[in-house]
Amino acid sequence: MPHRLAAVRERDNTYRITDNRASLFLSLLSIGKHEDDVDVRAFTRRAPETSGSAMLTRLFNEPSLLPDMEKFGGWVDDSGSECSKTKDEEQERCRLGDEDLDDVKGGSSRAQSEIAGEEDDDEDVDEDDCGDEGDGDRPKKRGPKKRKMTPARLERSKVRRQKANARERTRMHDLNSALDNLRKVVPCYSKTQKLSKIETLRLAKNYIWALSEILRNGKRPDVVSYVQTLCKGLSQPTTNLVAGCLQLNSRNFLTEQCQEGARFHLPTPSFSMHAYPYQCSRLSSTHCQPGSNAHSLRNHSFCSAYEALYTEGTSPEYNSPDYEGHHSPPVCVNGNFALRQQEPLSPEAERGYQYSMHYTSLHGSRSSTAHGLAYAPSGARSGSAHSENLPPFHDVNVHHDRAPFEELNAFFHN
């Protein structure tokens, strides 16, 4: 049985081996009669740097080395079936098997056709397999078909790629916009110190979890565990940022209150942050205390949903127009939060902590009242007091009529 090689004749009447398998070359070397005709060993010495297929290609194109090509079985494609012998048909190149042949023949059309990936050119002749037509039972060749890259096809390919790029940009911009919205509804929003994408997602997850815990337990958690929950898994800078947000909000609040001649000068409780190398001390506690200072509440946006849930007797102006929409004040984050151990708070003091949350959609919602939860706000608050200042997410309800907490729990602790 003659050994059959895969070869095509190029336009310059040279031959290119399309079967690049090294085993083929090795088998060729093993055929004694070929060794008689071709000094393969000498050829190998002459071109030791070439790969097997490249060597075979040169072999075919060296008449002195290969007097009778028919000994190799004629031109066949690399699947073993006969190729056409006509010059035009032979010029339909067979698909290359690897990069070696490109190296030999300087082939570069592969890259171009990969860039293009065009298939819509009716007028273009497909660079299909040799003898592909009329050979239905032969298995299809592997890999993408090569296409001629006419200028028109290249141009269409460019346009298509540009359109795809534009769509991708738009998609990413939309995604970033959504992330920006998310940044605004999680604690610690700052235009100047944006959370990274990943940190935004982490904080959002923690925030959801913290709110879920609040709903589940029906009572406010202690401050430490609350902040710990918020900061779980966050990077150190983000942890500091969150802590700083909580702290600065309180300070701002306190400052403003003093400037306004606040009526209350209650001791400012502090708490220690055992788990973090920063201190969220001096979180003011009294400003959102039930019924304590409705006037000040009116002017400060950072009383949170959390507080709303736990605050009684706050005024309808809680979400007054002064509330500038869910923004935490800009935070200067330098990571230098002094760690200071503080004595534990009295329950009285801790009760008044405000957490500087700015998400206000929960309070007054059906979700907090219709279920008779102990923390539901009461008193003069009206559910219609804040609609114009709420971010678009204000109509989001907490679906705690089902019990997602187990799933949340599993999710959170993953």
Partner DNA sequence: TAGGCCATCTGGTCCT
Partner DNA sequence: AGGACCAGATGGCCTA
Instruction: Write out the residues near DNA by the rule CB under 7 A.
Output: 114-115, 117, 119-120, 161-169, 171-173, 176, 194, 196-199, 235
Give CA–CA dist 272/380, Å, rounded. Answer: 34
Q: How far is the CB of 143 from DNA (least distance, A)?
A: 9
Give CA–CA dist 209/273, Å, rounded. Answer: 20
Closest CB to DNA among residues 165, 378? 165
Q: How far is the CB of 149 from DNA (least distance, A)?
A: 12
For residue 271, what are its two tokens? 């708490």
Q: How far is the CB of 56 from DNA (least distance, A)?
A: 27
Partner residues linked to 16 by β-bridges: 8
Helix, strand and coil in the chain, % to nearest 5: 45, 5, 50
Contact 246, 213 (CB under 8 A): no
Give CA–CA dist 242/228, Å, rounded. Answer: 10
For residue 92, what are its two tokens? 């339909």
Closest CB to DNA among residues 46, 173? 173
Closest CB to DNA among residues 22, 166? 166
Q: How far is the CB of 109 from DNA (least distance, A)?
A: 14
Q: How far is the CB of 160 from DNA (least distance, A)?
A: 7
For residue 405, what are its two tokens? 């907490």
Q: How far is the CB of 337 from DNA (least distance, A)?
A: 14
- Least Cα distance to 393 among 175, 183, 195 occurs for 183
For residue 358, what are its two tokens? 């700015």
Closest CB to DNA among residues 200, 229? 200
Closest CB to DNA among residues 42, 164? 164
Give CA–CA dist 239/335, Å, rounded. Answer: 9
Give CA–CA dist 354/310, Å, rounded. Answer: 10
For residue 296, what are its two tokens? 């000040």
Closest CB to DNA among residues 42, 178? 178
Cβ-based burial of 220 (10 A; exposed 0-12, middle 13-18, buried ≥19): middle
Q: How far apart are the first and last CA of the chain?
A: 64
Closest CB to DNA among residues 114, 407? 114
Q: How far is the CB of 199 from DNA (least distance, A)?
A: 7
